[in-house]
Structure 1
Amino acid sequence: MLLTKYTHACVRIENEGRALVLDPGTFSETDLALAGADAVLITHEHADHIDQDAVLAALAANPGLSVHAPAVVADALRAAAPRAAGQVHAAAAGDAFTAAGFAIRCFGGQHALIHAAVPVVANVGYLVDDAVYHPGDSLIVPPGVQVDTLLVPVHAPWSKVAEVVDFVVSVRAPRAFQIHDALLNEAGLGFTEAHIARIGAQHGTDFRHLAPGESVEV
């Protein structure tokens, strides 16, 4: 599979002519990520993970496109585009389905806590072909799974470096790449990723930074 990293939390996975896009948000290059996509997975409702206008445009342009998202996101998309309602599917922790020929398993259930005054929303982490795990805005370790490639939310208002490092250590994937990195400047990103790489390596994880638009075989 070919994985392409876009700005922030968006990635595109391609295999045998099929394309799956995860979290095409407003911080990301959604036009590039969604071009020719067969399916889209959305982890949660925050705008940095779903550019609703871009997803609606993609649905209108491609009647074969399927979108899977937590129920509140799926309902909003159906309400905004009734003609595409059949293309939009609700996803929740514990679900398993096929999207664009990829086997998908769902984990988690809720967004990490930002603050007691901020409501917690639904969040679904996706495991693609039992290989690539995108947790969305959570640090949920998928139980009973050997993840091959971990996508690590390296920075967020709801996390700290110690929690991110513990997440990487707990999953113990052979390789990992960063996501959720748009809120850090170059100095902050380098500082955070150095800790992840150093401690992750002690537990068997090869962590590497991917630039926006960079692709890697997974």
Structure 2
Amino acid sequence: NAITTIASQHKEAKYVYMTGDIIPHNVWSTTKEDNIRSIQHSGSRFKEILGEKVYPILGNHEPHPANVFAPPYIEKENSTEWLYEAFFDAWGSNLPPDARETFLKGGYYTVSPEPGFRIIALNNMFAYTYNWWMIMDPVDPASELEWFASTLYEAESNDEKVHILAHIPPGTPDQLKIWSREYARIIRRFDHIITGQFN
């Protein structure tokens, strides 16, 4: 399978980026419970085969129903909190404690796995046109862009190079225009420290 092939053919890889969509794409057949089981199983398999060098992000198929990521202020029964908790518990063992705080707020985090290098993992489902919660609050409901800019500023101050992980490539028609515009402004400001974007 793909994971064992990666492990055997790329032993020198320092990091593995898992860019989301663990859940099968049969969107009308998913359940919250099945999605949690898939997240737990895949997290355990990745760790078993690849160890602690995997850095994951969420895709649009991880929640149930698919594409639906609620802003952090939505009450528990309609929130995406269950997904953030299950995903972080299954995949986040190599992440620092402060990553848990931002991940549980909105599915994003940062980590510096070695001096001079930083990974910023975004949840750009808050920019996804098929996330119907964005009709209600389309600008930056989880304060992610503000956090993103301040994290890049801190990385710049510390002379760090940065990799950015996000599920949907930037600038696609599937992203809300306001979010895309502000994201592009942040990227232009810090482009001298960004050495890669992975989607």
TM-score interval (norm. to shorter): 0.3 to 0.5
After TM superposition, the score normalised by the length of structure 2 is 0.41
Greater helix share, 1 or 2?
2
Higher strand share: 1
